[in-house]
Structure 1
Amino acid sequence: MTVEATTKSKTPVSFPCSGCGGPMLFDSGSQSLKCEYCGKEDPIENSDQLPIEHDFDLRETDGPELTDWGMRTQTVRCEQCGGESLIPQMETSARCAFCGSPKVLVEEAAASIRPETMIPFQVTLEQATASFHAWKKKRWFIPNEFKRGKIISRLTGIYVPYWTYDSETASVYSAERGDYHYRNETRTRVVNGKTETYTERVRYTVWRRVGGHYDYSFDDILIPASVRYDGGLLEDLGNFDLRKLTGYKPEYLSGYTAERYSVTRQQGWQKARNRINETLRANIREEIGGDEIRSLNIRTQYYDRTYKHMLLPVWNANYTYRAKPYRYMVNGQTGLVSGTVPRSPWKITFFVLLCVIAAAAAFLFFSQYNG
């Protein structure tokens, strides 16, 4: 398989090599800036500044203190998929980082909220390629030609944007709680033409009205701020280890693409609130107890809401197999792979037939055994 890393034609003017003047790019192996020509490495000082959690007041505009990325950026928009990314102003991009299309245009930069924290890339391009090789060999029902063949893909390192939200909640709830009780009832039945009496244990439900207050604190609800990908692919990448978060530094972006968020703070909060409500509903049902619950009504107030913007590392790739497009992604921190692959209709048909034959054989066996 041949994997082509996305390259840029110019270097960010803010990170020149002090030795030869060449481009200094972030190296995930050494976690430092490394010169592309002479190999000189410059360490990146860890940020000791704690992330700031901003009040969520639904403002549409933000001051320069929230939108300063530490470098001059420009917005690149793909005409084919609509994806928007931020790259240093002196750089150019020949292809879209999301779908690989060459139809990209530089647009007037719009103010974007700077990330508070990020996880720098830990997995190299070579490691991401090896992870994909191992992953595709384990897929079921894929064509043998695809499993053993060479697939040309374009692998791009992208920092995917996320929002995190904190909120205090105060809920008032009411419901009907049902508790199971049992009693013995005398009944009659006809056996061999004779009526006989027997006792049967019968369950019944006692309902009673309940209500109360429930307070709960939510911290760092993680919401993807991108609509460029299938949400399932991001979910399948696994959980990032947020304990490894570090303060944002523009040096970590050198040589990579930072996606501009396409989910606003307000839209992200709506998704976070849905998760909050699901958690509250489950917690309140547990607090009510009982065997059944009906007519549950919850009214919740949200206060002390704050948010942060962060970037998480993902290797993104697009490839074509038999004229059909596919995509895979590699977690830039752990190397876990998620993606879509071609399916072999022959293997699927053969598997279904085997299942039908096995089910029919089992049915015949049990039918004869019972007979």
Structure 2
Amino acid sequence: MTMDAHTPPPTAVASFPCPGCGGSMQFDTESQALKCQYCGGERTIEHLMEEPREHPFAEEEDSAELLDWGTEQQSVRCESCGGESLIPLRQTATQCAFCGSPKVLPQGEARSGIRPESVIPFHVSLDGAAELFRKWKGKRWFVPNAFKKQNISSKLNGIYIPYWTYDTSTYSVYSAEVGIYHYRTETRTRVVNGKSETYTEQVRYTVWHWTKGDYDRAFDDILIPASGYYDKDLLRKLGDFDLGRLTGYKPEYLSGFIAERYSVSKSQGWTYAQAEADDQIRDDVRRQIGGDEIRNLNIRTNYGDITYKHLLLPVWNATYSYRSKSYRYMVNGQTGTVSGRVPRSPWKITFFVLACLAAAIGALWIYGNSQTP
């Protein structure tokens, strides 16, 4: 598979000059340090040993501490997909990191926004991401054989995608009708070989009763994507990040990569997080109630001690073309999980459907013969 390396354009300003030769240093996935692109010199990144700090949800967002990214940034926007990202000041962007379009326009200095509290640095290299995609596409079932064998040319961009996490304590009260299954023996008649015969059968019925109670639960790190420019299904499949490996934000981690500006606000993110928490509370309450069936379930939940973090999580993103059609894939920059869209083979899909139909018809024929006296 051929891949274009993601290297900064000649006009890029070196935010982290090499102490040896003065060249531009970028974050290196293998050494987890800054590495000079010219002489190979390395410089370690001072890791903050303190835990990433949670911010009260009601905290004002205009404090200098919350807005300081630690490096000068400019905003660029794609005319085709609307994607907006942050790159070093005066660096030239020639291609959209989201859709691959060349229609990228500078928007000037970046608008104020909450800076990341924490980050997971890239651990998968560009070449490693390309190899993971090659193996992944080779295991797809319904893709054309030619696609499996072909070297797919694409441009991988390393992007830090913004996420919110939310912590909260909850207290819920609920009421519901609970159904319990009971069985009684009933006598029935049927005709077998032209003769009537009597038999007994266990018949199920449900007894309903009302119940009520309360339930409390604390939620930690409800993870919500703050990106609005990606296929949500692809992004959700990359969600196996190990948040236990979070480290405090340092601008050095962004050197050589792109940081997407969040397009889902802190308040919007909390709305999505609350919906996820509501779903989990509903499942938990149903398990606590027990019974065989539940109906008219009503839950009222109070949320308290709400805190948030703004994170940047590493993703390799690429678009590629196959037979004049564009597709996208992504690679988790920490775990190596691959998620993507691939071309489909109509012949393989048709053969699979026919095989399933044949198996179903065969099963029905065997079942029918087994019921014949």
Task: Give the TM-score, by structure 1 length.
Answer: 0.93
Q: Give the conservation status (yes or no) of the 8 Å contact 2:52–2:246.
A: no
- Cα displacement (A) at 1:190: 6.4
In structure 2, the partner of 1:277 is 278
In structure 1, the partner of 2:121 is 120
For residues 199 and 358 of structure 2, what CA distance do their matches in structure 1 show? 45
Query: 2:49 matched to 1:48?
Result: yes
Letter in 1 for 2:2: T
Q: Give the conservation status (yes or no) of the 8 Å contact 2:15–2:24.
A: no
- Cα displacement (A) at 1:213: 1.9
In structure 1, the partner of 2:169 is 168
For residues 357 and 213 of structure 1, what CA distance do their matches in structure 2 show? 52
Letter in 2 for 1:28: T
- Cα displacement (A) at 1:194: 8.4
Letter in 2 for 1:66: L
Deviations 1:301-336 (A, max 9, x none): 111111000011111010111111100111111212
Moved more, 215-224 or 231-240: 231-240
Query: 2:78 matched to 1:78?
Result: yes
In structure 1, the partner of 2:3 is 3
Q: Give the conservation status (yes or no) of the 8 Å contact 2:12–2:92.
A: no
Deviations 1:35-65 (A, max 9, x none): 0001000011111232221111286x52221
Letter in 2 for 1:289: G
For residues 298 and 367 of structure 2, what CA distance do their matches in structure 1 show? 49
Tell me the C-alpha RMSD between the 2 structures.
Answer: 2.1
Letter in 2 for 1:138: K
Query: 2:249 matched to 1:248?
Result: yes
In structure 2, the partner of 1:230 is 231
In structure 1, the partner of 2:99 is 99
Query: 2:26 matched to 1:25?
Result: yes
Listed as ranges, the matches of 1:121-140 within 5 Å are: 121-140=122-141
Letter in 1 for 2:288: E
Q: Give the conservation status (yes or no) of the 8 Å contact 2:319–2:328.
A: yes
- The 3 A distance-change label for structure 1 pair 58 and 205 is farther
Q: Give the conservation status (yes or no) of the 8 Å contact 2:162–2:311.
A: yes
- Cα displacement (A) at 1:183: 3.6
- The 3 A distance-change label for structure 1 pair 189 and 241 is same
Letter in 1 for 2:317: N
- The 3 A distance-change label for structure 1 pair 54 and 238 is closer
- Cα displacement (A) at 1:191: 5.6
Question: How many aligned residue pairs are there?
Answer: 369
- Cα displacement (A) at 1:202: 3.5
For residues 70 and 91 of structure 2, what CA distance do their matches in structure 1 show? 15
For residues 354 and 74 of structure 1, what CA distance do their matches in structure 2 show? 56
Query: 2:39 matched to 1:38?
Result: yes
- The 3 A distance-change label for structure 1 pair 175 and 367 is closer
Deviations 1:112-131 (A, max 9, x none): 11111111000111111111
In structure 1, the partner of 2:17 is 16
- Cα displacement (A) at 1:198: 5.7
- Cα displacement (A) at 1:172: 1.4
For residues 127 and 113 of structure 1, what CA distance do their matches in structure 2 show? 31
- The 3 A distance-change label for structure 1 pair 70 and 178 is same
In structure 1, the partner of 2:87 is 87
Letter in 1 for 2:281: L
Moved more, 24-33 or 354-363: 354-363
For residues 303 and 176 of structure 1, what CA distance do their matches in structure 2 show? 28
- Cα displacement (A) at 1:256: 0.2
For residues 365 and 176 of structure 2, what CA distance do their matches in structure 1 show? 50
For residues 196 and 33 of structure 1, what CA distance do their matches in structure 2 show? 86
For residues 177 and 353 of structure 1, what CA distance do their matches in structure 2 show? 44
Q: Give the conservation status (yes or no) of the 8 Å contact 1:58–1:266.
A: no
Q: Give the conservation status (yes or no) of the 8 Å contact 2:98–2:317.
A: yes
Query: 2:258 matched to 1:257?
Result: yes
In structure 2, the partner of 1:151 is 152
Letter in 2 for 1:86: L
In structure 2, the partner of 1:294 is 295
Query: 2:196 matched to 1:209?
Result: no
- The 3 A distance-change label for structure 1 pair 191 and 77 is closer
Deviations 1:257-283 (A, max 9, x none): 011111111111111001110111111
Moved more, 216-225 or 106-115: 106-115
For residues 195 and 80 of structure 2, what CA distance do their matches in structure 1 show? 80
Q: Give the conservation status (yes or no) of the 8 Å contact 2:167–2:221.
A: yes
Structure 1, gaps ≥5 residues long: none
For residues 107 and 200 of structure 1, what CA distance do their matches in structure 2 show? 75
In structure 2, the partner of 1:338 is 339
Deviations 1:316-370 (A, max 9, x none): 0101111111001111112121101111222222333333344444444555565
Q: Give the conservation status (yes or no) of the 8 Å contact 1:163–1:268.
A: yes
Q: Give the conservation status (yes or no) of the 8 Å contact 1:58–1:265.
A: no
Letter in 1 for 2:86: L
For residues 326 and 188 of structure 1, what CA distance do their matches in structure 2 show? 61
Give the secondary structure class of the aligned counterpart of 1:283. Answer: helix
- Cα displacement (A) at 1:174: 1.0
Q: Give the conservation status (yes or no) of the 8 Å contact 2:175–2:299.
A: yes
Identity of aligned residues (%): 61
Letter in 2 for 1:247: G
